[in-house]
Structure 1
Amino acid sequence: MMTPLRLLPWTTPEGKPCYLSTDSDQSRLSRLADDLEAAQLDSGEQVLAGSRAVLADTEAGEHAVRFALTRAVECLGDVLRIAVSRGARIGVGADVGEYDCGER
């Protein structure tokens, strides 16, 4: 059985998706991707907490709200990319070629 390509949590300089073909989830590149995904998820948790605080502040200005929303959108894109990548590796969900994780 052929191992599916892994959608990596980064893109090329042109914004195109990067994929990894390997038989081992313990390769250096696989571990690097795992570490980056963990960092992205951690960042997402922090941004979510910060965004909630901004939204709860009735005196937050437009700049603060726009900043929080911009960061939340970035993190949502990261999380969706991770979900697509992991879903493809366990054989669940959409084909990785069918989903556009958006531009960064």
Structure 2
Amino acid sequence: MPDATTRVFVRLLPWTGPDGKPCFLAGDGTGYVSRMADRIEEEQLSSADDLIDEARQLLAARAWAPGELHLLAVELTASLADVRRVAKSRGGRLSALGPASVNT
């Protein structure tokens, strides 16, 4: 349990609950779930990088089937949703630290 000097932050997690609603974690950012969330965020960002490369290659070839474009759009949409969630989570944590922490 945090003592009076420990700052507690609320963090948007990089996954949703079974009903599709956002999941949050309250804590100091050093626990097991926080570390797991950090790893998943990094995997999501890495996956987005790979998907961007794949999309560039597919589009540069200019010889794709409609099914390929549809699958690419589906994958890009899912990845964009993940990256947006990571950005919102990280932005929220930066805001919680206050302006002095953001500028350093």
- SS of corresponding position for 1:5: strand
Q: Which residue identity is paired with 1:10? A: W
Q: Which residue identity is paired with 1:59? A: A
Aligned residue number for residue 100 of structure 2: none
Listed as ranges, the gaps of 5+ residues in structure 2 are: 1-5, 97-104
- TM-score for both structures, normalised by structure 1: 0.82
- Measured in 1, the distance between the counterparts of 2:42 and 2:63 equals 33
Tell me which of 5, 8, 12 is aligned to 2:10.
Answer: 5
Tell me which of 1, 15, 19 is aligned to 1:14.
Answer: 19
Instruction: Render the CA deviation track for 1:15-68: whole Å, top value 9, x for unaligned.
Output: 000000002x22000000000000000000001111111111211110111111
Q: Which residue identity is paired with 2:38? A: D
Select the structure of larger CA radius of gyration.
Answer: 2
Q: Do residues 72 (structure 1) and 82 (structure 2) align?
A: no
Aligned residue number for residue 31 of structure 1: 35
Runs of 4+ in structure 1 deviating by more than 2 angstroms, as ranges, are: 1-4
Larger proportion of helix: 2
Displacement of 1:2 in angstroms is 5.5
- SS of corresponding position for 2:9: coil
Q: Which residue identity is paired with 2:93? A: R
Percent identical pairs in the alignment equals: 36
Listed as ranges, the gaps of 5+ residues in structure 1 are: 93-104
Answer yes or no: is the 8 Å Cα contact 1:51–1:69 preserved in 2: no
Question: Could you say what the CA RMSD is over the residues aligned between the two structures, in angstroms?
Answer: 1.5
